[in-house]
Amino acid sequence: MLVLAWTGCVRREPRADLVILNGAEIESLDPAIVTGQPDLRAVAALFEGLLRNDPANGQPIPGLAGRWDISSDGRVYTFHLRPDAVWSTGEPITAADVVYSWHRVLDPATASDYAGQLFPVRNAEAYNSGRLKDPGQVGVRALDPHTVRVELEQPTAYFLDLCAFPTLAVVPRQTIQRHGDRWILARPLPVSGAYELVAWRLNDKIRLCKNPRYWDAAHTRTGLIDLLPVGSASAALNLYMTGGADIAWDKELVPVDLVDALMTRPDFHTYDYLGTYFIRFNVTRKPFNDPRVRRALALAIDKQRIVQRITRAGERVASSLCPSGMAHYQPPDGLGYDPAEARRLLAAAGYPGGKGFPAFDYLFNSAAGGAANMHQKIAVEFQQMWESQLGIHVDLRQTEWKVYLEAQSRLDYDTCRSSWIGDYDDPNTFLGMFTSDNGNNRTGWTNAMYDHLLRAANRQIDPVPRRRLLQQAETLLVRDEVPIIPIFFYKGMNYFDARSIHGIYLDHNLLDLHPLNAIWKTPAQAPARTQDLPRAARTPRDGIPHLVSLHPGPLGSSRRQPALTASGQSVSGRTSAATGFASCTF
């Protein structure tokens, strides 16, 4: 990670117009490198692609490209850049910049985790894998300074969604060529998005200011924004409640054990989210190579009990991998809760009453933030359900995140916890994981019919036959073969006072995308009601540091009071700027 440290200290600086608790510390601001949601939020404000996301529903809309044409066979896209699209330093953004940015994502030396977003482009995967050495053979080229032509391997129904993804944003070619890996430190830093980078102080904040040269600057509603890193759910809640922030934007910043109390507050919001919690089977190990065993374990899980007793934020039980509400798609029904059928299937597989069933493990990761101990509680529920309903025993195996991912990749597990957050509003972002050659499969499951159905679906331009093919594929996945067990669909959660914070659309926005340039703040109105959260236990329950007492002012108030965590530590807001962090002011 680059450490940003320019000379000059900011001892006192004005409060930003909008202060957002952004989640974990940002690791990078390079669009080709970032993967985490906190990083992606900042990158999307700084760098724009050919398309961007509509703040109302997350759908792709014109960005740096004002319009585009699609060939009749769906394989060639021609994008026309806006004549007024310029870098924040005043130079025009050109088609050559777009081509360079996409080639850079695909370059094996960049090692972009999201390079696969460009694999629909002709020869993109071959270049990324090293089989093809010449980037000029990749199907993206500049026809003239304002026209980009993209040729796909085959029609791809969701290609425009990919063009709005931050990884494909346009980055400053000359700056990167001049500064190499340290280009993000360039001063001034040319950006293509709605905001410029004012400061990046590790463990303190990222400060953004309006880019007056952005092509749509007239509709950028907020001039100065701070993104604060915070990893503790209790610290985030204290900081928000004491007026230190306007928005808390990450479900990991919500203490799970306080959800019941938070749900009564008008400034706490939950909403449908494009994410699924599920179990993976390692189908290369007996007895999980038998679909009857996998279906039996799925049918023995009471998912309703889990969302009512543990998650408690209104999550919907999942029988499909794809959440409902996705564009042009309704997922098929998978397996529900049927212990009698589960016992019948287990007996048919040779394990009546669980006799002779080998001991096995359930792998799950430790978690921080609001999800601390949630995975463990869910694992214990699975353990009890499988033992009581099927007479089989599972050993729980908890590891830290890196070890957990490595074990999945090596297929060093029997069953394991998993989740997936969709990158774009199309079933392929979920179903594509389980094709035979996908690196995210991590189950050992291969199925030629499933692969064929997905390939055929993704060649379709007509949404009706495409939907049928996708439904057939998902039925294979969640009802017939069952290499995974969907458990529940995530709920997004955040804090903000909707009477003073505007431009955040939660309905019909499964991607949970909220462009910063669409958000603005007005003076708080008189409170509709003032609420205190109930006093929590002074000793943390389940290892989560809960608030001892929380006495909020009126919603939207900037009144700040010291608040205490269960450990007694005072949390009265961020003081780093006042005490003299090194400034990275541009």
pLDDT at 72: 93
Q: Average pLDDT, whole number, for the chain?
A: 87
- Closest Cα partner for 485 from 310, 361, 320? 320
- Closest Cα partner for 504 from 8, 41, 39, 13? 41
Q: Which of 175 and 529 is assigned the larger pLDDT?
A: 175
pLDDT at 7: 30
CATH architecture of the domain covering 275-491: Roll (3.10)
C-alpha span between 446 and 279 (Å, rounded) = 17
Query: Could you tell me the residue ranges of all domains in the chain?
Result: 1-46+193-267+496-586, 48-184, 275-491
C-alpha span between 95 and 216 (Å, rounded) = 19
pLDDT at 525: 59
Q: At what angle do helices 448-459 and 463-475 cross, to 10 degrees?
A: 160
pLDDT in tens, 230-270: 988 889 999 999 999 999 988 888 888 888 999 999 999 99
% of the chain at pLDDT higher than 90 = 76
**Amino acid at position 100, single letter:** Y
Torsion of CA 83, 87, 91, 96, to 10 degrees: -70
User: How far from the centroid of its chain's Cα atoms is residue 467's Cα?
Assistant: 24
pLDDT in tens, 50-81: 999 999 999 999 999 999 999 999 999 999 99
Please work out, in degrees rounded to the nearest 5, the angle formed at the alpha carbon of residue 301 by the alpha carbons of 296 and 303.
145
Q: Which of 249 and 293 is assigned the larger pLDDT?
A: 293
Helix (H, G, I), strand (E, B) or coil at 272: strand
pLDDT at 561 over 50: no
pLDDT in tens, 490-538: 999 999 999 999 999 998 899 999 999 999 999 875 444 344 544 332 2
Which one of 3.40.190.10, 2.60.120.620, 3.30.300.30, 2.60.40.10 gives the CATH number of domain 1-46+193-267+496-586? 3.40.190.10
Q: In the CATH scheme, what is the homologous superfamily, with its name and number, of domain 48-184?
A: Dipeptide-binding Protein; Domain 1 (3.90.76.10)
> Which helix (H) or strand (E) is 409 found in, with range?
helix 401-409
CB 478 within 8 A of CB 320: yes
Give the mean pLDDT of 80-88.
Answer: 98
C-alpha span between 220 and 212 (Å, rounded) = 9
Output the six-digit token pair for 552.
């909020």
* pTM of the predicted model as reported, rounded to 2 decimal places: 0.83
